[in-house]
């Protein structure tokens, strides 16, 4: 049997050590630096390229996807100059062809990487797609301003880079402008492949797609909420893990779902921001977004989208029919709403880039009146919080304590908490609870990881064909 040190649970009202206090070297809310005027200017610039269709002109300096990409790259480089060269620019590309791209087309993403100072391979990604479309998804010549879909997400990502690059973080932030979304999530797939090839430990992907409007075509408006979509059963489940989940639960506890819960709690801390409306499905009904390729690889990812979509100003050619104006133009946007959506993203990125990765807890509760939780330590953690909820409850409702080590006075060298194996017994029957564990670092804690099959914030090892 493993030699596991004794753990001590203490009240949440007590600090387990000086290192676990939620310090913050950014005393000012970074979201306060968000500029609604800059966001509006960026939208107008993107709309001014006429069309940003994936198959549009790549060489023109004033029109098409190529000009838009180069402008986005230029904005990243300006932000990097302002922070002393802190952003690395990458331009991953590939040739693509498919049902909606009938001829081989060069696809390029524009990526800015802000390396972490302590754990640079631990990454959070914020992204939006820079391409646009009209009514006919294959028409690359007609004007397609794409103001809300998705110049709004593109402007949000660039503004986040401007603001957050003025700070240093323990882990890496990646800002990505993706191409080819409208033709089948090509840019998202390229970005997910790129993240995998870099060997990144992806903590979270925040996909922003249609985040700049507050009213629908039926006149209904909601400027107070933003929707966050998260998957239930994971896209990368194997047959064995799926069977374990059917038996022991976990269909409502994917890493993406727990990321969504955490974002909801974060938003509630600010009275001046948007409220999160959690939508517990991968995306809108019959629709998709660039978070999906990440989910397919087992990376935690969610989608931000407006509370109310306006279908007369989305995927529409510019025209007037029966007195109705169609087209995705900037005059239909709510820039104050976009600024608040950007603030929420910035606050989330600021926090996620500072806290440790969630651990990967397991629970043993069969034929016993208590529950044994076990997990390996994670880098940057100085302690752990145990949370729980009843299986029919949507949110974490119970705090079961903080966990740290009781170190004998004769010990000369202490193994860091993050390098140890951990076990904790909860005096509750596991059949009646879902338990989670949060890693606590110098700046507080991030999302909880559920102690269920497939609850870990990491890809599930895939079964070989011979298994």
Q: Provide the pLDDT confidence category of residue 4 given band limits of 50, 70 and 90.
A: very low
Under CATH, to which class is 30-352 assigned?
alpha beta
Evaluated on CA atoms 50, 148, 157, 125, the torsion sign reads negative
Separation of alpha carbons 338 and 325, rounded Å: 22
416 backbone dihedrals φ, ψ, rounded to 5°: -55, 145
Percent of the chain residues past pLDDT 90, beyond the cut = 88
Strands lying side by side in the sheet with 171-178: 87-90, 110-114, 171-178, 119-129, 201-208, 301-306, 225-229, 275-279
Query: Who's near 183: CB < 8 A, 6+ residues apart?
Result: 54, 55, 96, 98, 100, 101, 131, 137
Q: What is the pTM of this model?
A: 0.93
pLDDT, tens digit (0-9, with 9 covering 90-100), for 95-132:
999 999 999 999 999 999 999 999 999 999 999 999 99
* pLDDT for position 19: 35
CATH 3.40.630.10 range(s) for the chain read: 30-352
The answer to whether residue 17 scores a pLDDT higher than 80 is: no
Q: How would DSSP label each residue in 120-162?
A: EEEEEEEEEE-----SSTT--SS-B--IIIIIHHHHHHHHHHH
* DSSP code per residue over 237-278: --HHHHHHHHHH--TT--HHHHHHHHHHHHHHT-TTSPEEEE
Lowest mean per-residue pLDDT among 74-78, 317-321, 403-407 = 403-407
Alpha-carbon span 462 to 236, nearest angstrom:
8
In order of 2, 167, 350, 351, 425, the CA distances from 24 in angstroms are 37, 12, 10, 9, 31
**Parts of the chain belonging to CATH 2.60.40.10:** 7-24+358-450
Q: Are 318 and 332 in contact (CB under 8 A)?
A: no
* Res 401: pLDDT: 87
Q: Which fold has domain 7-24+358-450?
A: Immunoglobulin-like (2.60.40)
Q: Which residue has the tokens 């070297």?
A: 25
Q: Are strands 362-364 and 449-450 parallel, antiparallel or unpaired?
A: unpaired
Which residues does residue 201 pair with via DSSP β-bridges, in sequence order? 122
- Spatial separation of the C-alpha atoms in residues 399 and 393, rounded to whole Å: 14
- State the pLDDT confidence band at 465, using cuts at 50, 70 and 90: low
């Amino acid at each position: 049997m493993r030699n596991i040190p004794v753990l001590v649970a203490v009240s949440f009202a007590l600090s387990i050590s000086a290192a676990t206090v939620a310090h913050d070297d950014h005393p000012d809310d970074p979201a306060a630096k968000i500029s609604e005027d800059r966001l509006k200017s960026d939208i107008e610039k993107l709309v001014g390229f006429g069309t940003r269709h994936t198959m549009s002109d790549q060489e023109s300096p004033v029109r098409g996807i190529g000009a838009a990409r180069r402008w986005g790259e230029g904005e990243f480089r300006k932000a990097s100059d302002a922070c002393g060269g802190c952003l690395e620019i990458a331009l991953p590309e590939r040739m693509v062809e498919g049902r909606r791209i009938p001829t081989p087309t060069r696809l390029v993403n524009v990526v800015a990487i802000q390396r972490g100072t302590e754990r640079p391979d631990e990454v959070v990604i914020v992204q939006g797609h820079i391409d646009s479309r009209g009514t006919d998804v294959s028409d690359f010549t007609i004007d397609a301003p794409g103001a809300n879909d998705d110049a709004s997400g593109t402007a949000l990502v660039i503004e986040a880079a401007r603001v957050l690059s003025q700070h240093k973080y323990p882990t890496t932030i990646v800002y990505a402008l993706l191409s080819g979304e409208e033709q089948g999530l090509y840019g998202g797939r390229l970005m997910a492949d790129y993240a995998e090839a870099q060997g990144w430990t992806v903590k979270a992907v925040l996909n922003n797609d249609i985040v700049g409007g507050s009213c629908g075509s039926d006149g209904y408006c909601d400027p107070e909420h933003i929707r966050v979509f998260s998957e239930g059963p994971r896209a990368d489940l194997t047959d064995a893990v799926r069977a374990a989940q059917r038996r022991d639960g976990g269909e409502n506890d994917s890493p993406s779902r727990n990321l969504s819960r955490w974002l909801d709690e974060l938003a509630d801390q600010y009275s001046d921001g948007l409220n999160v409306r959690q939508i517990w499905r991968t995306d809108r009904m019959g629709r998709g977004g660039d978070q999906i390729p990440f989910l397919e690889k087992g990376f935690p990812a969610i989608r931000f989208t407006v509370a109310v979509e306006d279908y007369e100003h989305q995927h529409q050619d510019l025209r007037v029919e029966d007195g109705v104006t169609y087209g995705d133009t900037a005059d239909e946007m709510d820039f104050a709403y976009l600024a608040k959506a950007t603030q929420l993203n910035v606050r989330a990125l600021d926090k996620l880039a500072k806290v440790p990765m969630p651990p990967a807890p397991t629970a043993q509760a069969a034929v016993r009146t208590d529950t044994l939780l076990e997990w390996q330590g994670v880098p940057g953690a100085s302690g752990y919080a145990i949370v729980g909820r009843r299986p029919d409850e949507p949110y974490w409702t119970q705090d079961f304590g903080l966990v740290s080590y009781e170190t004998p006075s004769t010990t000369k060298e202490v193994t860091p908490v993050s390098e140890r194996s951990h076990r904790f017994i909860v005096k509750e029957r596991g059949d009646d609870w879902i338990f989670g564990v949060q890693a606590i670092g110098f700046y507080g804690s991030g999302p909880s990881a559920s102690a269920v099959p497939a609850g870990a914030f990491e890809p599930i090892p895939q079964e070989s064909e011979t298994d």
